[in-house]
Structure 1
Amino acid sequence: MSALPVKITHGERVMDIHSGVTKAELAAYYDAVSPWMLPHLADRPVAVLRAPEGIGGEMFFQKHAAKTIQGVRALDPSLDPDHAPLMQIDHVRGLVGAVQMGTVEFHTWNARSDRIERPDRVIFDLDPGDDVPFARIVEDAQLIRGLLDELGLTTFVKTSGGKGLHVVTPLARRHAWDVAKGFAQAVASHMARVFPDRFTATMGPTHRVGKCFIDYLRNYRGATTVCAYSARAREGMAVSMPVHWEELPDLPGADAWNVRNAVERLRALKQDPWAGYDKAELQRVTKGVLDRLGD
């Protein structure tokens, strides 16, 4: 194994008692996965979930830059006034440097830092009730894909690394945050209205019993979603994995890949599951789209 770009201290520390994954293993994972992950991080404000003593200990979310994380770029303070600067990770040094400081998860904004007031995607986070089997979640994601396809919008999907799926709709950087969030809420409300036995647009565990909550709240300014290929601070250290829509029915769960088998999958792929994403970045939320969701 080649040397890491940042020295890892206490590499023997077990980050997850369930799997036995150590801090050194986690750093090596992010180093190995960086060619796939960095395009999803680059140019976006990022927040990190840190677990300095492992996922069984105290964990905290960090949205703003700290000099203690090597390789992390501090953004223009005017992007988030009255706080320390937002941060961005463009290179593998930042990824591994964050792990050195106890980071497990990486979460990104839905906008790029050079045009932070113009989101470039909408994410529908399917958050299932505890009694909803994964096969049902797959069907629910496909229903959302079908609706968006009818509206002329191309979508992509990834596992959450937890229980659910993330349906991602790229957008041209022309819309304000209120348009993006309004569109996401309109889709969630529409699905809950048409399929009330499957979906809810109301948060809270009581509303998710037997249903999937379509979490549209991931789409306001400053909200973040776990980045593609990020590990999760949960038992087993699963990762959020982009997949082909055609793969979904055969997946055993949203935690199918973890820090020990994800790179093997990626190296075996013959095609990027999200091939064509760049072409979809010209999509727009038109008045016609919003009017149809209100029918």
Structure 2
Amino acid sequence: MASERIPLTVADPDVEREVVLSSPNRVIWPDAGITKAELAEYLQIVSGPFLEANGNRPVSLERFRDGIAGDGFFSKNPPKGTPEYVDAVTVTYNSGRRHPQIVLNRPSAIVWAAQMNTIVFHPWASLASDPDNPVELRIDLDPQPGTGFSDAIVAAHALREVLSEAGLDAFMKTSGNRGLHVFAPIEPSHEFLEVRHAVIAAGRELERRMPDRVTMNWWKEERGERIFIDFNQANRDRTMAGAYSPRALPGATVSMPVRWDELDGVDPSSFTVRSVPSRLEEAGDAWAGMQQKPGRIDTLLAWWQRDTEAGLGELSFPPEFPKMPGEPPRVQPSKKVAAHWDENGDPVEE
């Protein structure tokens, strides 16, 4: 028996388009009773600020055929049958492979993504017009066991001061879960590895000021009860949930931009697919115009060079990356046998 299908009329800037939504009554978030049709409606309502934050970028779609109760998978390349109003750009991945990746530039494309059972949208930090050079510096403040959202708030305020001293304006959003994402718009004049080094420099400076509250340690066994500054989110093809993106969590929470003067009183669980539209209507977009005055990362790169000369070098990369120059050994510190690794972090053949 064929599933129910309904046509949705979506207002794009140039024309109204019809997007067919199959299984509109399928429940995506069982605890909240939110359906696929309600998700599509939410995405239409927030399409303006959503596209300002996530549009014109390579984006990975995290799709769930059976709602959040089922298994998810990532779509990066445009699938067969992708409509003409969904754009794409060829990007280079860390392996050196090049391939087209989806770009969302209009409301109809976002609704199409919902039709494809997308729940979470993961945009790159760069634009489709220049995918190799990020337009924002991103830092994920990730609470570890024994810490929580309130600890991330303290770290975020301190990180804002660090970035301000480096000449950058910081913007902030909830992750949609327990953490916070701090962004700073930058001129697209440096490629991903250099931006990663800028993030590491900022993180190290924050760690110096708050050694008991934040950590840059990549290995979980060394983090303790501190907020982890996830520097690896700055890498090419490493993404986090975009602004206004729903999360595949029971409460249908949304990764929500908020203003700094309201951060201390924020409850991240209050931003949901159902509540965010009224929040937007009442308070507006906290990230409106964020990209109008991008900064430069020169100061942070000078800090990186200073730290490098002081003996603080490269940090660990994610496991799916090729071995990078100067990277420490890819082994847990508790399992590391010094004699088995050379000074470049490569295993010594016996």
| TM-score, normalising length: structure 2 | 0.77
Deviates more, 1:199-208 or 1:166-175: 199-208
Which amino acid in structure 2 is aligned with residue 20 of structure 1?
A: G
Q: 1:102–1:293: structure 2 CA closer, same or farther, 3 Å change rule? A: same
1:54 to 67, 75, 85: 67
- Letter in structure 1 aligned against 2:199: A
Q: Shift of the alpha carbon at 1:192?
A: 2.6
- Given that residues 170 and 280 in structure 1 are in contact (C-alpha distance below 8 angstroms), is that contact kept between their aligned partners in structure 2? yes
The answer for the alignment partner of 2:33 in structure 1 is: 20
The answer to which structure, 1 or 2, has the higher relative contact order (CA under 8 A, 6+ apart) is: 1
User: In structure 2, how many angstroms separate the alpha carbons of the residues matched to 1:282 and 1:150?
Assistant: 12
Corresponding residue SS for 1:8: strand
Indicate the residue corresponding to 1:75 in structure 2. 89
Partner of 1:261: 275
Report whether the alignment pairs 1:35 with 2:84: no
Question: What is the distance in 2 between the residues matched to 1:266 and 1:137?
Answer: 24
- The alpha-carbon deviation at position 134 of structure 1 amounts to 1.9
CA distance in 1, matches of 2:92, 2:86: 16
Given that 1:63 and 1:86 are in contact with CA atoms closer than 8 Å, whether structure 2 keeps it comes out as yes
Q: What does residue 155 of structure 1 align with?
A: 170
Query: How many angstroms does 1:99 deviate by?
Result: 0.8
Instruction: Indicate if the aligned counterparts of 1:157 and 1:244 stay in contact, CA closer than 8 A.
Output: yes
Structure 1 pair 150–293 and aligned structure 2 pair: CA distance change class (3 A): farther
Percent sequence identity is 33
Alignment partner, residue 23 of structure 2: 10
Deviation at 1:276, TM superposition (A): 5.0
Superposition deviation, residue 223 in structure 1: 1.7
**Which stretch of structure 1 is more off in the superposition, 95-104 or 109-118?**
109-118
Larger radius of gyration: 2
Moved more, 128-137 or 211-220: 128-137
Q: How many residues align?
A: 291
- Could you tell me how far 1:193 is from its partner in structure 2? 3.5
SS of equivalent residue, structure 1 residue 118: strand
C-alpha displacement at 1:278, in angstroms?
2.9
- Give the SS at the match of 2:40: helix
Any idea what the Cα deviations from partners look like across 1:212-231, whole Å, max 9, x if unmatched? Answer: 11111111122222111000
**Counterparts of residues 104-115 of structure 1 (less than 5 Å):** 104-115=119-130
1:176: how far off?
A: 2.0
Deviation at 1:179, TM superposition (A): 1.1
Alpha-carbon distance between aligned partners in 1 of 2:307 and 2:164, rounded to the nearest angstrom: 13
- Please say if residues 42 and 88 of structure 1, whose CA atoms lie closer than 8 Å, have aligned partners that are also in contact: yes
Matches of residues 243-282 of structure 1 in structure 2 within 5 Å?
A: 243-252=258-267, 254-269=268-283, 272-275=285-288, 277-282=290-295
1:72-105 deviation line (CA, Å, top 9, x unaligned): 21223x6456454111010111101011111001
Secondary structure at the counterpart of residue 278 of structure 2: helix
Higher strand share: 2
Report the more deviating stretch, 271-280 or 214-223. Answer: 271-280
| Partner Cα distance (2:292, 2:148) in 1 | 33
| Aligned-partner Cα distance in 2 for 1:196–1:282 | 27
Provide the aligned C-alpha RMSD in A.
2.1
Q: Deviations over 1:122-165 (max 9, x none)?
A: 10001101321322211110011111112221110011111111
Cα distance in 2 for partners of 1:114, 1:47 equals 17
Gaps of 5+ in 1: none
Distance 1:25 1:208, change over 3 A: farther
Q: In the alignment, which residue of structure 1 is the partner of 2:160?
A: 145
- The one-character-per-residue Cα deviations of 1:196-253 (angstroms, maximum 9, x if unpaired) are 211111235444442111111111122222111000011111001111101101112x
Aligned to 2:100: 85
Query: Could you say what secondary structure the match of 2:28 adopts?
Result: coil
Task: Give the deviation of 1:11 after TM superposition.
Answer: 0.9
**Residues 69, 101 of structure 1: 8 Å contact kept:** no
| Contact preservation (8 Å) 2:137, 2:195 | yes
**What is the distance in 2 between the residues matched to 1:206 and 1:22?**
40
SS class of match (2:110): helix
Deviation at 1:3, TM superposition (A): 3.7
Q: Aligned equivalents of 1:292 and 1:148: distance in 2? A: 17
User: Which segments of 5 or more consecutive residues in structure 2 lack a partner in the other structure?
Assistant: 1-7, 11-17, 311-350
2:75 partner amino acid: Q
